[in-house]
Amino acid sequence: MGYVLNRLMQGLLVIAVMAVLVFVGVYAIGNPVDMLISPEADQAEIEATIVRMGLDKPLWQQFLTFVGGALRGDLGTSFIYNEPAVRLILERFPATLELALAAILMAILIGIPLGVIAGLKPDGLAGRSIMTVSILGFSLPTFWVGMMFIMVFAVNLGWLPSTGRGETVEVLGVRWSFLTADGLAHLVLPAVNLALFKTSLVIRLARAGTREVIGQDYIKFARAKGLPETRVILVHMLKNMMIPVVTVLGLEFGSVVAFAVVTETVFAWPGIGKLLIASIVHLDRPVIVAYLMLTVMLFVSINFLVDLIYAILDPRVRRKEAA
């Protein structure tokens, strides 16, 4: 219990500090009134707009108003859309979440087996080939790969649609596209594009973990007992080499959700990345602040869950914290 409470307190402290930094940082990037009001507007109209947006108050007072609203679940109202910023983000969040889950799932299903193979046979043809491919995944720019995917698979071959999300169905009040054939076809290219870098990362992590664990005494003992190699790998090795992989994958999932802007832009995927770009262009402070704060809370939550999983996989973590 002490381990859990300690992690919760750390998470709350991070959120509080980031709230101050995010609000002050967004406040410093420019005056949204210059972007949102007509150049022909007179001084009276400008002052009325400033008052309506609450920008006439000192920074500290604006921040306290923001904190008070945030505690009630209100992160402000968009200057552009005149709708709650949280609602605008949550309306687009399922599309981004769907894309991120598909990319991470591909990275896990492809990256871990390939990484284990490369770790077990580092000097073999398979191991060298896998690591060469992973280097390519790290090196190629996401936007260029995305455009090549569109050119080859959508334009030249006509196998898959190039842009958009496709047909969706509503489940529990949320619209998902992967449940329809058309939506799944639209999901393939952006998901693969987003998964390339993550898959390469998982391959290298899994390989490093395999190389580290394979020489441990308990692996040698399991083999000396005559256990099948498959059991040694799946039961004794995989659990221990997964600890760093799980830790990094949790943070990488947060980064995929928060920063899938390039992929969403290339494939015209209607997620929160597109909303963020529009908000930055027009200096829509409430949406930018809401997006960044939700991103912070997402990372804190994922990090907390990763810590719990880490403690389950390695009980020594709990004992060390208790001591």
Please state which of the four CATH numbers 3.40.50.150, 3.40.50.620, 1.10.150.110, 1.10.3720.10 is assigned to the domain occupying 90-282: 1.10.3720.10
Is 211 in contact with 122 (CB distance < 8 Å)?
A: yes
Looking at 121-260, list the stretches that DSSP marks H as alpha helix, in order from N- to C-terminal side: 125-139, 142-149, 181-213, 217-224, 229-231, 238-258
Q: pLDDT tens digits for 263-289?
A: 888 888 888 888 888 888 878 888 888
Query: 3-state secondary structure string, 7-40?
Result: HHHHHHHHHHHHHHHHHHHHHCCCCHHHHHCCCC
Nearest to 245 by CA among 98, 75, 80, 115: 115
pLDDT at 48: 75
pLDDT at 317: 57
pTM of the model: 0.74
pLDDT at 39: 66
Domain locations in the chain as residue ranges: 1-79+284-322, 90-282
pLDDT at 299: 81
pLDDT at 192: 92
- Which stretches of the chain drop beneath a pLDDT of 50? none
